[in-house]
Structure formats: C-alpha cells, structure tokens
C-alpha cells in the first residue's frame, strides 16, 4: 500500500514569508508538520511518500492507493485544485488539516474522505478501516487529544521528501532538482 501526502505550495502572502529573502538573503519557509506526523503514525509496512510543493513539484501521476492533502486557509484554493486533478486521474483523495477542520463544508465536495480535528487517533483508525475495505467518508476528532500521542520529535524527519520505504531525498536536493527543472 502506498500513500502520497501532499502539502500544497503557498501563494504569495504574509504567511508565505516570500519577502524574507530581502532581509535574510535566503527564502523563508515554515514547513507544515502534518505530512511527517502522519508518516510517523503510519505502520512501517505502508509506504508513505511526502511531497511539499514549496520544495518540489507535485507528481499528479504518482502511483498510490490514496492521496492525502493538507493545508492552511491560505492554501485552500490550491488544495481544491490538487484534489480535483487527482480525482480526475481516478485517485482516492483524503483532505484534512487546519483548513478542512475550520471549513469542512468547503472541503467536503472535493474529498472522498474528509478528516477534521487532530489526526493522532483518526489516521490510524482510518488506515485500519482502509485495509479492511470499509473506510468511512469522514473521520472526526472533535475532542482535544493528549499530544503525548503525537510522534516524538526524533521519529519525524523534516529533512526528506519521502519516508518509509520510498526513496528519501534531502530537501536541498529536492530544491536543486526543482529549480533546475524550471
């Protein structure tokens, strides 16, 4: 089983830190920790490939059993574009994260599976259901969770674009290949 987790690129805004390079000489970026957190919550026999569109292009033809898309309100438009493109290619699409939790009614039409709230309990439950061939179309965690359930920092690698049995590439290499492709 292969899961492709996608964090859409940010449009230029205050939150994209696009002006940081004027001050620091380097682009600013605060990575979304949802994809590596989900990867760390995934059993080791499930292949997880992570794509952060700020670092590399999304592979719309990635062979996978599920595409998971997360994002903030500022990424909402791109989240829906990506969901549409993946669904047009016959991919099963799950949408979750802050935007889905704040505006589930906006995300629902674009998702085969919608996640609202924190994923520490719902993601493993979904994976169990998915493997059994009986997943639901909505997984909700309305109550606050004990963040001790979150993966420890040492189990999350933010320096790679893929985890588990997928090919891992350092972010710097992903930036180089993305910039040389343009």
**Phi, psi of 66, deg, nearest 5:** -155, 140
Is the predicted pLDDT of residue 152 greater than 80, yes or no?
A: no
Which one is predicted more confidently, 91 or 168? 91
The stretch 79-103 carries a mean pLDDT of 97
User: What percentage of residues in the chain have a pLDDT greater than 70?
Assistant: 72
Each domain of the chain, given as residue ranges in start order, spans 2-181
pLDDT at 98: 95
Q: Yes or no: is domain 2-181 CATH 3.40.50.20?
A: no
**Residue 51: its pLDDT value, please?**
95
- Cα Dmax for the chain: 52
The confidence band for 18, taking pLDDT boundaries of 50, 70 and 90, is low
Phi, psi torsion values for 71, nearest 5 degrees:
165, 170
Per-residue pLDDT reduced to its tens digit, 21-72? 666 665 555 678 899 999 999 999 999 999 999 888 999 999 999 999 999 9
Segment holding 5, helix H or strand E: strand 2-7
d(CA 27, CA 54): 11
Whole-number Å distance between alpha carbons of 124 and 153: 18
Residue 165 has pLDDT above 50, yes or no: no
Confidence of residue 132 (pLDDT cuts 50, 70, 90): very high
Q: Please report where in the chains the tokens 């590399």 appear, as a residue.
A: 56
Burial of 56 (0-12, 13-18, 19+ CB in 10 A): buried
Top-confidence residue, 16 or 177 = 16
Task: Give the Cα separation of 67 and 87 in Å (integer).
Answer: 9
């Amino acid at each position: 089983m292969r899961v492709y987790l996608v964090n859409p690129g940010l449009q230029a805004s205050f939150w994209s830190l696009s002006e940081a390079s004027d001050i620091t000489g380097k682009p600013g970026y605060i990575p979304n920790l949802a994809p590596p957190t989900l990867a760390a919550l995934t059993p080791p026999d499930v292949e997880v490939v992570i794509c952060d569109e700020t670092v590399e292009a999304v592979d719309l033809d990635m062979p996978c059993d599920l595409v998971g898309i997360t994002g903030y309100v500022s990424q909402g438009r791109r989240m829906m574009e990506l969901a549409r493109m993946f669904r047009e290619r016959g991919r099963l699409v799950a949408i979750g994260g802050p935007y889905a939790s704040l505006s589930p009614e906006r995300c629902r039409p674009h998702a085969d599976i919608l996640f609202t709230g924190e994923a520490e309990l719902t993601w493993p439950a979904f994976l169990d259901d998915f493997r059994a061939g009986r997943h639901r179309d909505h997984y909700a965690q309305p109550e606050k969770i004990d963040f001790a359930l979150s993966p420890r920092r040492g189990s999350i690698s933010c320096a790679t674009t893929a985890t588990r049995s997928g090919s891992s590439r350092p972010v710097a290499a992903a930036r180089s290949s993305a910039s040389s492709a343009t």
